[in-house]
Amino acid sequence: MNKLKLVMIGNGMAGVRTIEELLKIAPGLYDITVFGAEAHPNYNRILLSPVLAGEQTVQDIVLNSWEWYEENGITLHAGKKVVDVDRVRRIVRAEDGTEAAYDRLLMCTGSTPFMLPVPGKDLKGVIAYRDIADTDYMIEAARTHRHAVVIGGGLLGLEAANGLMLRGMKVTVVHVMPWLMERQLDDVAGKLLQGSLEERGLNFMIGAQTQELVDNGEGQVGAIRFKDGTELPADLVVMAVGIRPNIGLAQQIHLHCERGIVVDDTMQTVTDARIYSVGECAQHRGVAYGLVAPLFEQAQVAANHLAQMGIGRYAGSQTSTKLKVTGIDLFSAGEFMGGEGCEEIVMSDPVEGVYKKLVIKDGKLVGACLYGDTADGSWYFKLLRERSDVSGIRDELMFGGPHD
């Protein structure tokens, strides 16, 4: 009997997780073909930061080896970017002409880093931080150059800055907002974080606005110039100012896209019943996620439907954040800034460098921001996700969950 054909575009974390789930519940249902623009098997993108910091190697972070694809009968076209999909004939075509026919198509193209549209952004030495190639580029730059500037003091920017510093570069983080990681931390925690990173040797320019990246005369970046006219030397500029769902191909083949590829609660695209989408490229109930935990939940639901079980529903996710800079403990989730109708319970110990803020609304924990002691982060996150009534334990809440 001819098997159904499943083709996946994008050999990244969300897509491969979907296939893993599918193989668990419906092994043998499909002939599977995977196209990946990167010339690597699926790896743990999150762990690029420890690789940059010299704590792990690229080999350590591979999630699915070449053999895994072979053992599971998956045809992998690594290093082949898909440039077209014929939705009528149901054929996918890669840049080099490789084609594959499908009965079901899974679009998992991830995100594209946003590059600030400033003069000089195309100079050599100006990069984003997304994949193994970027990480290798930074490791090489640190061997041969001295001054690095990271634009963006969010999670990704700080992890890049920390890695480059550990590799011996003099690093300045340029952040236009009033404090670091403003989307995950309040001002108190953001400033504590800045203090700890300064003690380790990072430099910061908070509130600075980038005007231009300056050519060193050889087509390579040599400096960064700010709106106030000041300049800093920069042999390497890493832009970490945000990501955009990678929807170019989806738009080209007329799938309905807003910020991401619009999918329903089964992760099926709203345009074409044969096409599913999971990961950072997908937009579900108006949200395109940028962290892996929700993407793995999406993967489970998509696998369930690809397996023709038809019962899974994705209802959206709560997200939480940790920073992967060794020795810095930070956790944030939910509505950590508080606001109208919220009460805040705050504990601050500046000497120990510990700060905790819990936000409660209508008897429920709706946000948490922890710095310096994150031992109870997962307990708070559980309360938050389960929307538990915490009125009865309000007084003990700050002291954390059940301890052994």
Query: Residues in the site for ligand FAD, rule: CB under 6 A?
Result: 9-15, 35-38, 45-46, 48-49, 81-82, 108-110, 129-130, 156, 159, 246, 249, 279-280, 290-293, 295, 324
Q: How far is the CB of 46 from ligand FAD (least distance, A)?
A: 4
Please say which residue, 123 or 299, places its beta carbon nearer to ligand FAD: 299
Please say which residue, 154 or 367, places its beta carbon nearer to ligand FAD: 154
Please say which residue, 233 or 316, places its beta carbon nearer to ligand FAD: 316
Q: How far is the CB of 93 from ligand FAD (least distance, A)?
A: 10
Using CB atoms within 10 Å of the CB of residue 215, give its burial: 0 to 12 exposed, 13 to 18 middle, 19+ buried: middle
CB 208 within 8 A of CB 175: yes
Q: What does the block give as tokens for 58?
A: 């690229």
Q: How far is the CB of 278 from ligand FAD (least distance, A)?
A: 7
Q: How far is the CB of 346 from ligand FAD (least distance, A)?
A: 26
- How far is 214 from 148, CA to CA, in rounded Å? 13
Please list, residue by residue across 292-314, b when 16 or more beta carbons sit within 10 angstroms of its beta carbon and e when fewer do: bebbbbbbbbbbbbbbeeeebeb
User: Nearest residue to ligand FAD, using CB?
Assistant: 12
Please say which residue, 35 or 314, places its beta carbon nearer to ligand FAD: 35
Q: How far is the CB of 28 from ligand FAD (least distance, A)?
A: 24
- How far is 76 from 64, CA to CA, in rounded Å? 12
Give me Rg for the CA atoms of the chain: 23
Please say which residue, 139 or 342, places its beta carbon nearer to ligand FAD: 139
Please say which residue, 263 or 360, places its beta carbon nearer to ligand FAD: 263
Q: How far is the CB of 225 from ligand FAD (least distance, A)?
A: 27
- How far is 296 from 243, CA to CA, in rounded Å? 19
Q: How far is the CB of 267 from ligand FAD (least distance, A)?
A: 12
| Number of other CB atoms surrounding residue 183 within 10 Å | 12
DSSP 314: -
Question: Of 168, 173, 181, 164, which Cα lies nearest the Cα of 51?
Answer: 164
Please say which residue, 63 or 206, places its beta carbon nearer to ligand FAD: 63
- How far is 404 from 402, CA to CA, in rounded Å? 7
Please say which residue, 21 or 280, places its beta carbon nearer to ligand FAD: 280
Please say which residue, 286 or 339, places its beta carbon nearer to ligand FAD: 286
Cα dihedral value 237, 130, 367, 392, nearest 10: -140
Q: How far is the CB of 173 from ligand FAD (least distance, A)?
A: 15
Q: How far is the CB of 214 from ligand FAD (least distance, A)?
A: 26
DSSP result, 168-236: T-EEEEEESSSSTTTTTS-HHHHHHHHHHHHHHT-EEEET--EEEEEE-SSSBEEEEEETTS-EEE-SE
| Helix boundaries (H) for 314-403 | 377-385
Pairing of strands 236-239, 147-151: parallel
